Amino acid sequence: MAVDLPEGCIANVVSMTTPLEACRVSMLGSIFRSAAESDEVWEKFLPRDYDDIVARAVAPPPPCFDSKKHLYLWLSDHPLIIDNATKSFWLEKRSGRRCCMLAARNLTIVWGDTPRYWRWTSLPESRFPEVAELVNVCWLEIRGKINTSILSPSTNYAAYLVFKSTESTYGFEYQPAVVSVGISGGESETRNVYLDPEGKQCLRYPIMPRGIGIFSRRFSSNMFRPHACIPRERETESEQQYPKVRGDGWMEIELGECFNKGGEDSEMEMSLMEVNGGDWKSGIVVQGIEIRPKEDT
C-alpha cells in the first residue's frame, strides 16, 4: 500500500486516538508501525503528570524502559504504590484512563482502631502493607474519598469495595448494606448490596449464620428474626447485587458510579453502611476501595 503521508504526520494523527487503536495501526505496515510505536505517540497516552506520580511511588518503576510505550505498558500491568502506601495507581491498558485504589488505611472505618472490633494485619496477596480484618461489629460503616485530579476527566467511574471472606464470616446473609458514590456537594444515589459471597444461595435456601454457638449473643440476634429475609423478597434477583471474584483472587462489590468532569478541585466520596439490622458481623478482610472507569455496556 502506497503511503504519501510522512511518518511524523501519521504519528500526530495516531496520538489523537487510543492505545488500542495505535496497536491496530502498527499492523498496517512498517511506516505505520514506526509511527504508532514512537515516543511522540505514547507520550500523549501517558498522564501529563506521570513524572509527579512516579515521584510519589514507594518503589519507583525500574529505570530500564527503552521507550514510552514500554513505560505505558508497565504502568498498565503493575499498579504503582504511592503516597506512603495509602494508594495504588495504574492505567487502563485499552484506553490509558487512570485507575486508583485507596488502601484500607486510607479509608474511614468506624471503630477501625478498636482491636475488639477490627484487626489490622498483613496478607501476602494484598498490594498494601496492611489490610483491615473485621473481628465483630453490629455497626458497619466504611467511607472513602479521593481528589478527582488523580482521575481522568470526562470519564464515568465506578467504585468497588475489594475484600475477602474467611471461614468465620457471618452476619451478611440477610441484611443488605447501603452504598453510595458521588462528588462532594452533589447528589448521590444509594442502593442495596449484599456482601455475603453465597448470597444467591441464601436467597433460595435461607441458612443460619455459620460457625457460631447456639447461645452466642451474635447468633441469638438472628435466630429469632423471621422477617430477616424480607428485604430480598422485595427485590427481583436481577436487582440484587452480590460480590464477584476478581482475577487476583479477591472479591469486589460495586458501590456505585459517577461522572468525573475534571477541571475542578473536587472529591469523589464513597460509602458502605449496614447499621440498621442490629446483627453482629465478622470475618471479612478489606483491602481497599478501587476506582476505575466504568465498562461500557
Instruction: Determine whether domain 97-293 maps to CATH 2.60.120.260.
Output: yes
Return d(Cα 295, Cα 131) in angstroms, integer: 27
Nearest to 243 by CA among 151, 137, 156, 172: 172
Taking the C-alpha atoms of residue 227 and residue 239, their distance in angstroms, rounded to an integer, is 20
Report d(CA 95, CA 153) in Å as an integer.
13
How many C-beta atoms lie closer than 10 Å to residue 140's C-beta?
23
Give me 292's grid cell: 476505575
Dump pLDDT digits (tens) for 165-205.
Answer: 988 888 988 889 999 999 988 888 899 999 987 765 444 44
Q: What is the pLDDT of residue 204?
A: 43
Residue 63, pLDDT score: 75
Give the closest residue to 138 by CA, choosing from 120, 117, 163, 119. Answer: 117
Tell me the domain boundaries of the chain: 97-293
User: 40-70 pLDDT, tens per residue?
Assistant: 988 999 999 989 999 999 988 877 788 899 9
SS3 296: coil
pLDDT digits (tens, 9 = 90+) for 69-80: 999 999 999 999
Mapped onto helix, strand or coil, the DSSP state of residue 244 is strand
Report the half-sphere exposure of 201 (CA within 13 A, side-chain side).
Answer: 9
